[in-house]
Structure 1
């Protein structure tokens, strides 16, 4: 951190807290107390009214307020809630940035605003559904962010969701990473896939052995993360859910759902997919509450898997080793 940034940071800390000690400031900015003493002196020389109290620390003269920005209580609350959620959802680099941003936002609020914002914050919680600390996604996220910034093509192994012959197939892909999306508790890479020669979304949980290549790319000028170009999903699957589970199906609506329609027989759902493998496990999870209308190939796959499940429970009970 350069001296200018640190001086502003010290001023914001003094504004955010009623009183702060030199050793606490030194720890916050990862520097020495001697450096903090010099920073305090520099701020005083520029006209900032700082009071030094032996054994207690430093404080600003009551009533001194230097807001670089002005926020309403609602604006500050939304920014702080969003920052808190981002801190939970990203890796250490962006988590630290989110925490730093929160401190700066709090610093520009008046005492009354801080009290109001704190009360609302304690009434609303945005909790990330996954933990990067517990998964390999943390490292992938960091690597992919770097690849996106440096505009470098990546190579990785991608594991399909559905096993074949008792094995989880994987293939090697090369892709130009355009962006990252957090959706439904999981991270997805939005990219141009060299193999398919089309835009593809890859779930980070199913990626491994990621490498950044020296090859670079240019992201299309008209690309937007707010409305990324839709993938070509050429497989249409229609399924009918029982009315009793329809509310839960609606809650779990995914990006592959193109239409939902209430009928006298239940909830008719139309899915747009790349392959059958994307949807078979999901449909099986609903048991007898769902029926595939079309295509016939998916109906056959579901029937085959159901038969295998039946065999698991009707076969002789395996002996467990003690």
Structure 2
């Protein structure tokens, strides 16, 4: 941290805390106490009203706020909840920056707004999965993010959800990374794949052995991640009839392959579109006898086969 950034950070820290000792500031900013003394003197000479009490520490004159920014409670909650989200979902670099940003925001909030903001945040909470594999995913997230910004290609091993026509699930890919998208709590890489000669999507949780390459790429002028819409290749239509008494549970499942739902006299009808029948097989089986596949016939046969396998196990 350079001197200018440290001077501003000291003022913000003094705004956040009533009194801070030079030793505390030195430990916080990883510098010497003598440097903190010089910084305090520089701030005083610049007109910042810092009060020093021997044996107690430094504090700002009452009523002094820097910078002169005013937030409503709703704005403050939005910003602070945003830092919570970044801290939970982004890589370690941004996690640290989110913590620092939260401290800066809290430092400039008037006490009344800060108290009200705390009350609102105490009744709202962001929950996320804390699985072990996410540590590797976050490491890859940071490396891929840097590769995107530096326009460098990457190489990795990828495990597909379903086998291809040759029965293979594992492949090695070299791609030009275009962007990262958070979809239902999972990070997806949008990239141009050298193997497929087209844009493909890769779930970070299925990536292993990531290698940063020196080879550069140029982002196509027509590509804008904010405007990018992937081609919908879900060509298989599936219709399922559920018992009325579990209709609410089906709605609450928010299954992303569902395209339509409607009530009928004989049951609750759900239409889905998928790429492979395997994508919907486990979901249908999870509803047990409360779900009946109406079409396609191929899925009916798969359900019967799985039911027979289950029966043999018991």
TM-score between both structures, scaled by the size of structure 1: 0.85
Task: Give the equivalent residue in structure 1 for 2:276.
Answer: 275
For structure 1, the 5+ residue unaligned runs are 314-322
Question: Is 1:143 equivalent to 2:143 in the alignment?
Answer: yes
The DSSP-based 3-state class of the residue aligned with 1:219 is coil
The DSSP-based 3-state class of the residue aligned with 1:69 is coil
Is this contact kept in 1: 2:49–2:61, CA < 8 A? yes
Is this contact kept in 1: 2:158–2:170, CA < 8 A? yes
Cα distance change of structure 1 residues 305 and 204 upon mapping to structure 2, 3 Å threshold: farther
| RMSD (Å) for aligned C-alpha atoms | 2.6
Task: Give the equivalent residue in structure 2 for 1:290.
Answer: 291
User: What displacement does 1:115 show?
Assistant: 1.3
Number of aligned positions between the proteins: 311
User: What displacement does 1:251 show?
Assistant: 2.7
Task: Give the equivalent residue in structure 2 for 1:156.
Answer: 156
- 1:98-247 maps to which residues of 2 (within 5 A)? 98-131=98-131, 135-161=135-161, 169-242=169-242, 243-247=244-248
Distance 2:170 2:251 in 1: 31
- Give the stretch that moved more between structures: 39-48 or 69-78: 69-78
Cα distance change of structure 1 residues 34 and 257 upon mapping to structure 2, 3 Å threshold: farther
Distance 1:172 1:233 in 2: 23
Cα distance change of structure 1 residues 263 and 189 upon mapping to structure 2, 3 Å threshold: farther
For structure 2, the 5+ residue unaligned runs are none
User: What displacement does 1:272 show?
Assistant: 3.4
Is this contact kept in 1: 2:236–2:274, CA < 8 A? yes
Distance 2:9 2:237 in 1: 56
- Give the stretch that moved more between structures: 106-115 or 137-146: 137-146
TM-score between both structures, scaled by the size of structure 2: 0.87
Question: Is 1:252 equivalent to 2:253 in the alignment?
Answer: yes
User: What displacement does 1:171 show?
Assistant: 2.2
Is this contact kept in 2: 1:162–1:281, CA < 8 A? no
Is this contact kept in 2: 1:85–1:127, CA < 8 A? no
Alignment deviations for residues 239-274 of structure 1 (CA, whole Å, 9 cap, x no partner): 314133332333332444333344444443333333
Task: Give the equivalent residue in structure 2 for 1:54.
Answer: 54
User: What displacement does 1:91 show?
Assistant: 2.5
Cα distance change of structure 1 residues 114 and 219 upon mapping to structure 2, 3 Å threshold: same
Is this contact kept in 2: 1:240–1:266, CA < 8 A? no
Alignment deviations for residues 6-58 of structure 1 (CA, whole Å, 9 cap, x no partner): 11111111112211122222222222222211111111110000001122211
Task: Give the equivalent residue in structure 2 for 1:41.
Answer: 41
User: What displacement does 1:99 show?
Assistant: 0.4
Distance 1:238 1:67 in 2: 58
Task: Give the equivalent residue in structure 1 for 2:32.
Answer: 32
Is this contact kept in 2: 1:153–1:214, CA < 8 A? yes
- Give the stretch that moved more between structures: 248-257 or 181-190: 248-257
Distance 2:23 2:168 in 1: 54
Distance 2:132 2:32 in 1: 33
Cα distance change of structure 1 residues 191 and 310 upon mapping to structure 2, 3 Å threshold: farther
After superposing on structure 2, the runs of 4+ consecutive aligned residues of structure 1 that deviate more than 6 Å are none
Alignment deviations for residues 143-166 of structure 1 (CA, whole Å, 9 cap, x no partner): 2212222222322222233589xx
Distance 1:29 1:46 in 2: 20
User: What displacement does 1:311 show?
Assistant: 2.0
- Give the stretch that moved more between structures: 202-211 or 44-53: 202-211
